Structure 1
Amino acid sequence: MNIRSLITFIFTGIILMAVQVLLLKNLALFGVAMGFLYLLLILDLSISINKTTLLFVAFGLGLVIDIFYDSLGMHAASATLIGFLRPVWLKAISPTGGYDDTVHPDIQEMGISWYLSYSFPLLFIYSLLFFTIDQWGTGGLFGVLNKSLFSAIFSMLLAILVQLLFFKRKRRI
């Protein structure tokens, strides 16, 4: 990761974390779907990032959100799980020729259908762990699955919207 991409990552991270904490913290669609926009930072890191670095970044981002949400490590645990599963999932959905090491797994680089198949399962697993910890023993299986599914869908829509509106398109030759 060069210095320019590091500065871009930090700037994007500050903005996405601010939106998460200031706008999405108290927003729950129909009392069910929560948006986890900050996960876009973990999902859109370079494919060639070191696994240990990815785990530390995911844990750090989740910990910062936990500080603002007062959620006692639920975001940190769920984000670390996503950081752990991301390389495995990327390998599982790898195209025949593999990935270019400089590619970022986003809509502009890989296309919308690939991005949906990449990010939705990870967002669902994140939501599933988060709501399982949150409603341990009180919400029931249907409540956890319901919130997980709709939160993953809402987070997916937010991620696509942000990428299409604000991320710079790559020029193809």
Structure 2
Amino acid sequence: MAKVMIQNVLRFLAMIAIQVVLFKNIGYYNLAAPFPYILIILLLPLRTSNFFLYVFAFITGLTVDAFYDSLGIHTAACVALAWFRIAFIRVTLEMDVRQSSNSPSWGDLGSKWYISYVFFSILIHHFLLFVIEVFSFHNFLQTIGSIVLSSLSTFVIAMLISLLFYKRKSRLGI
């Protein structure tokens, strides 16, 4: 258990540092901005309690907001992402798989489940992030364009990170 906690703390520190140092300065004409820091929340162990997940998502969002000066936008999107993660895992995984202490991974749960999990999570996070940021229908097409392009860039980076740390394991019965 201590190994899992240390691994998640190191993942938190590394992803926040990478987000703030590297990805904060990357953008495509103010339309696409990658936010791969949400992998911190997505890769927590399946058996993580809901309370801890919400607190961890809140702290993650608050940390990113502190560096982006964005007044709680990332915090709200991360807490909503935690809610979506709980619902998605509860609906799509069997009880014995949910009780395992493994992190959701490509090797354990299969590519179909993992890709849909990451893709829809990113889409939900980015939709809420940009809608809360703009909070207007004035530039609706530009907002939709930002959501789509940012989601795609974040998805590609998340998949590259997942492939980088891919470990082939036995499937858990899915």
Q: Deviations over 1:30-65 (max 9, x none)?
A: 432211111001001111110010000001000000
Q: Which residue of 2 aligns with 1:106?
A: 105
Residues 96, 62 of structure 1: alpha-carbon distance in 2 compared, 3 angstrom cutoff = closer
RMSD across aligned positions (CA): 2.0
In structure 2, distance between residues paired with 1:58 and 1:164: 24
**TM-score, structure 1 length as denominator?**
0.89
Q: Give 5+ residue unaligned stretches, structure 1.
A: none
In structure 2, distance between residues paired with 1:92 and 1:123: 18
Q: Which residue of 1 aligns with 2:27?
A: 28
Q: Deviations over 1:65-123 (max 9, x none)?
A: 00000000000010011011211111222259754522321223222221111111111
Q: Which residue of 1 aligns with 2:7?
A: 8
Q: Which residue of 2 aligns with 1:144?
A: 143
Matched to 1:103, the amino acid is N
Q: Give 5+ residue unaligned stretches, structure 2.
A: none
In structure 2, distance between residues paired with 1:33 and 1:146: 8
Partner secondary structure for residue 101 of structure 1: coil
In structure 2, distance between residues paired with 1:106 and 1:119: 10
In structure 2, distance between residues paired with 1:92 and 1:140: 35
Q: Which runs of 4+ in 1 moved over 6 A?
A: none
Residues 170, 73 of structure 1: alpha-carbon distance in 2 compared, 3 angstrom cutoff = same
Q: Which residue of 2 aligns with 1:91?
A: 90
Matched to 1:169, the amino acid is K
Residues 60, 100 of structure 1: alpha-carbon distance in 2 compared, 3 angstrom cutoff = same
Q: Which residue of 1 aligns with 2:153?
A: 154
The residue correspondences of 1:23-102 to structure 2 (distance < 5 A) are: 23-94=22-93, 98-102=97-101
Matched to 2:167, the amino acid is R
The residue correspondences of 1:98-137 to structure 2 (distance < 5 A) are: 98-137=97-136
Residues 107, 30 of structure 1: alpha-carbon distance in 2 compared, 3 angstrom cutoff = farther
In structure 2, distance between residues paired with 1:92 and 1:146: 30
Partner secondary structure for residue 28 of structure 1: coil
Q: Which residue of 2 aligns with 1:169?
A: 167
1:93–1:118 contact (8 Å) kept in structure 2: no
Matched to 1:40, the amino acid is L
- Tell which deviates more after alignment, 118-127 or 138-147: 138-147
In structure 2, distance between residues paired with 1:150 and 1:172: 34
Q: Deviations over 1:5-48 (max 9, x none)?
A: 11111112111110000000121134322111110010011111
